[in-house]
């Protein structure tokens, strides 16, 4: 079994540093009614909840590999937002989402060219 390297308390210490780029990204989103959104690397889902509400999304899925982060994220789930454990390097939306969002996770993955090609369907 792989050790979970993510510490939610440490992660939350840098909330402000993650929050401003999040707001900058959300400001670039072209909103549509009844959006289906996925947040890759949702962490504790604090910002995922904000994204879901700001967009008025019909459905938002947060994906993260860390059991510790998802334990905190689950309290924010509900009303159209759900979280699942998964490796975002393997994510395949297959056109099921109107928006693929990631605030501070994709830089951890290798081969960005192939990753972005896959994410843009």
Residue 110: CB atoms within 10 A of its CB come to 7
Phi then psi dihedrals of residue 78, to 5 deg: 120, 165
Question: Above 60 in pLDDT, residue 1?
Answer: no
pLDDT, tens digit, for every residue of 33-62? Answer: 999 999 999 999 999 999 999 999 999 999
By percentage, how much of the chain surpasses pLDDT 90? 67
**Whole-number pLDDT of residue 51:** 97
pLDDT, tens digit, for every residue of 15-37? Answer: 677 788 899 999 999 999 999 99
**Whole-number pLDDT of residue 10:** 67
What domains sit in the chain, N to C, each tagged with a CATH number?
16-22+31-119 (3.40.50.150)
CA 73 – CA 43 distance, rounded (Å): 7
**Mean pLDDT, the chain, integer:** 89
């Amino acid at each position: 079994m792989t050790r979970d390297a993510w510490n939610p308390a440490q992660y939350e210490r840098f909330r402000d540093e993650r929050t401003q780029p999040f707001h900058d990204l959300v400001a670039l989103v072209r909103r549509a009614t009844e959006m289906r959104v996925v947040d890759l690397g949702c962490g504790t889902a604090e910002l995922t909840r904000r994204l879901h509400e700001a967009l008025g999304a019909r459905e938002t899925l947060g994906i993260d590999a860390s059991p510790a982060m998802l334990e905190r994220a689950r309290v924010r789930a509900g009303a159209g937002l759900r979280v699942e454990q998964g490796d975002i390097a393997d994510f395949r939306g297959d056109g099921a989402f109107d928006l693929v969002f990631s605030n501070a996770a994709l830089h951890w993955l290798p081969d960005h060219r192939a990753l972005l090609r896959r994410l843009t369907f």
